[in-house]
Amino acid sequence: SEDFKCLSCDKANYKLIEKAKNEKIETVWDRAEAMQPQCGFGEMGLCCTNCSMGPCRIVKVSEDGPKKGICGADEDTIAARNLARSIAAGSSAHSDHGRDIAHALYNAAKNPESGYKVKNPEKLISLAKEWGISTENLDIKDIAAKVAETALQEFGKPFGHLRFVDRAPEDRIDIWKKMNVVPRAIDRDIVEVLHSTHIGCDADYRNIMVAATRAALSDGWGGSMIGTELSDILFGVPEPHEIEANLGVFKEDEVNLVIHGHEPTLSEAILVAVNDPELVELAKKQGAEGINLVGMCCTGNEIAMRHGIPMAGNFFQQELAIITGAVDAMVVDVQCIMPALSQVAKCYHTKLITTSPKAKIPGAIHMQFNEEEAIESAKKIVREAVSNFKNRRGNILIPQEKSKGFVGYSNEAIINALDGVANSVAHPMGTVKPLADAIKSGVLRGAAAIVGCNNHKVLHDKGHEELAKELIKNDVLVVTTGCGAYACIKEGLMSKEATKFCGKGLATVCELVKIPPVLHMGSCVDISRILLLLSELAKFMNVDIKDLPAAGAAPEWMSEKALSIGTYVVASGVYTMLGVAPQVTGSENLTRFLTDDIKDIYGGCFDIEANPQKAAEKIIDHIEKKRKSLNI
């Protein structure tokens, strides 16, 4: 298994990569190898396919060759347009997810057949109040309908700006106003990027980035935040749970159902269905002991956070999950689902079931998930999974590796945990005061978020883990979401014992407050939680987000969503470290803009460092500088 250490640093994966080799099954690592060398024009952002006079590409490596596209677009225009379009696509993915949650909330109010119910009426009422919706004489369902409709209006309202923008610190909103990037309506801001990057429209890279930044902010402070807030209302606010993680969570004697993708509207309904006595009975009739539901990628984060469902694996483990031979069905909805899965599934008995009209995969079984009768349609899907148990072929290998950790740190849960200890020291309950105090006193040097995907350009999971370890060793509290959260829990960084990796200050805080040093805050849309935590902290300390000793990092990012996230996080004032360079380096101007000039505008900027040790040093350096300017 020695050879596989250069592909992943997760031991559970070695045996399965070896199994894949023996069984002649191609994985993401094989395809990445076959792709070498990767296209230099694309890598630098210098290939333009925006019109059919092209494709055009700018030659940088020599004096010869075109320096302009056929329409005259130069490297700055081309690289910025490509980046902006990716940001718009990322923002649209998160926001469309948010829209689906809003529809589900509407269904919960209006359509009893849907099976959705409001689980947290307090959060619903508080959001209604925030949005100026009168709750007088209305029952929960009526309020839910109004809140859902108001949320849906955020996508296409003709005037004004997004409601959640007002949650940001005042200084931040002023910067956005000055830069003309206050998001107005989510669909509009995304459409505007597509329009302005059309052939013959915006050619000014800085102005292209204005539209792109606005579209990104409409994700973080719009679509994603709607997704998170309304999911909490519908499915409950996450609370700490101890759970198991890694491919060792599969059970030989139970039906293994993997739910993979993103939207809790599906995973929550599947969770109800797997507990249906009739389906459990059916599983037993097939010879199984029960139904083992496990999560993968961000929808796995969502149900782990709310229900303690095991986290099977992250983006780079999706094929390996099937290669165990123990997966009876993998049920997917949207985003981060490799089309390769259908080929892998064919080599086993596994049923790959697509459920969204937005994401069908040739070779998969399509069973449309109907949110108007969510539970019924989830039951049909689960029945399909259960009836496949008997078709197992015997070539099963479930790795031993799994680890335990605590997940479920919503802002509410973090504040609760802090309240628990600090209430001896008279302070207003339910505020970020204890967190601010810990930072001010220097016990905690600051906080960093480690988020995002897996990417073959980085040793799988190593970028996340090493960075996290280095930061907590230096008393920086780490919060994490997405595939980064999987890497951290698998490495034991969310367990009680994780304090052994911490510096003295952070270890003391963790023991006192009974939290792990790496806090699992959810899926990628839940990065909106991190924005809110930073906002609350900034407001409490009477500063702007950019002044906080805080940073962001996406060591293994790959998706367009990650580009949208990075952009809204930077525009919210956060220094953000990328482990993989974005495809912009062919434009020195744009690269300098993103890594430097932008600092003077928003206070945050991108930095690029592949080595986790060096990335940690830079983050710590940034944090210490911010402490100095705050005089703490």
- 3-class DSSP state of 18: helix
Residues in Cβ contact with 600 at an 8 Å cutoff, skipping those fewer than 6 apart = none
Task: Give least dist CB 561 to ligand NFS, A.
Answer: 4
Pairing of strands 403-407, 329-332: unpaired
- Residue carrying the six token digits 């990037």: 181
The torsion angle over the Cα atoms of residues 276, 277, 281 and 282, rounded to 10 degrees, is -30
d(CA 469, CA 482): 17
- 3-class DSSP state of 231: helix
Task: Give least dist CB 338 to ligand NFS, A.
Answer: 10
Show the tokens assigned to 329: 């069905």
* Element spanning 411, H or E: helix 411-422
Stretch that binds ligand NFS, among 183-191, 556-564, 576-584, 593-601 (CB under 6 A): 556-564
336 binds ligand NFS (CB under 6 A): yes
**Binding-site member from 228, 559, 572, 583 for ligand NFS (CB under 6 A):** 559
In DSSP notation, 171-222 reads HHHHHHHHHT-----HHHHHHHHHHHTSTTS---HHHHHHHHHHHHHHIIII
The torsion angle over the Cα atoms of residues 440, 442, 443 and 448, rounded to 10 degrees, is 80
Task: Give least dist CB 244 to ligand NFS, A.
Answer: 19
580 binds ligand NFS (CB under 6 A): no
Task: Give least dist CB 407 to ligand NFS, A.
Answer: 14
End-to-end CA distance of the chain: 49
Between 295 and 399, CB nearer to ligand NFS: 295
Binding pattern for the stretch 276-315 against ligand NFS, x by CB under 6 A and - elsewhere? ---------------------xx---------------xx
Between 502 and 580, CB nearer to ligand NFS: 580
Q: What angle do CA 99, 100, 105 make, to 5 degrees?
A: 95
337 binds ligand NFS (CB under 6 A): no
d(CA 57, CA 43): 12
The footprint of ligand NFS on residues 405-464 (CB under 6 A) is: 452-453
Between 150 and 528, CB nearer to ligand NFS: 528
**Binding-site member from 103, 433, 561, 626 for ligand NFS (CB under 6 A):** 561
**Residue whose Cβ sits closest to ligand NFS:** 482
482 binds ligand NFS (CB under 6 A): yes
Task: Give least dist CB 569 to ligand NFS, A.
Answer: 12
Stretch that binds ligand NFS, among 100-108, 378-386, 490-498, 558-566 (CB under 6 A): 558-566
Stretch that binds ligand NFS, among 4-12, 30-38, 238-246, 559-567 (CB under 6 A): 559-567
Between 7 and 143, CB nearer to ligand NFS: 7
524 binds ligand NFS (CB under 6 A): yes
**Binding-site member from 124, 162, 270, 483 for ligand NFS (CB under 6 A):** 483
468 binds ligand NFS (CB under 6 A): no
Helix, strand, coil % over all residues of the chain, rounded to 5: 55, 10, 35
The helix/strand count (H/E) of the chain reads as 26, 16
- Residue carrying the six token digits 């996406």: 554
Task: Give least dist CB 122 to ligand NFS, A.
Answer: 28
* Element spanning 243, H or E: strand 241-245
Q: Which of 507, 541, 539, 513 is nearest to 437 (CA)?
A: 541
d(CA 159, CA 162): 10
27 binds ligand NFS (CB under 6 A): no
Q: CB of 373 within 8 A of CB of 300?
A: no
Task: Give least dist CB 296 to ligand NFS, A.
Answer: 8
323 binds ligand NFS (CB under 6 A): no
Between 219 and 609, CB nearer to ligand NFS: 219
Stretch that binds ligand NFS, among 68-76, 360-368, 420-428, 557-565 (CB under 6 A): 557-565
Stretch that binds ligand NFS, among 16-24, 68-76, 168-176, 554-562 (CB under 6 A): 554-562
- Counting residues that bind ligand NFS (by CB under 6 A) gives 14
C-alpha pair distances (Å), 464 with each of 299, 352, 550, 613: 19, 29, 17, 11
What are the b/e assignments for 554-592, b being 16+ CB within 10 Å? bbbbbbbbbbbbbbbbbbbbbbbbbbbbbbbbbbebbbe
568 binds ligand NFS (CB under 6 A): no
Task: Give least dist CB 204 to ligand NFS, A.
Answer: 29
Between 374 and 562, CB nearer to ligand NFS: 562
d(CA 416, CA 420): 6
503 binds ligand NFS (CB under 6 A): no
Task: Give least dist CB 525 to ligand NFS, A.
Answer: 8
89 binds ligand NFS (CB under 6 A): no
Q: How many CB atoms within 10 Å of residue 6?
A: 10
Q: Which of 56, 62, 64 is nearest to 82 (CA)?
A: 56
Residue 346 one-letter amino acid: K
Between 202 and 560, CB nearer to ligand NFS: 560
562 binds ligand NFS (CB under 6 A): yes
Between 13 and 559, CB nearer to ligand NFS: 559
586 binds ligand NFS (CB under 6 A): no
579 binds ligand NFS (CB under 6 A): no
Between 221 and 389, CB nearer to ligand NFS: 221
| Residue ranges in contact with ligand NFS by CB under 6 A | 297-298, 314-315, 335-336, 452-453, 482-483, 524, 559, 561-562
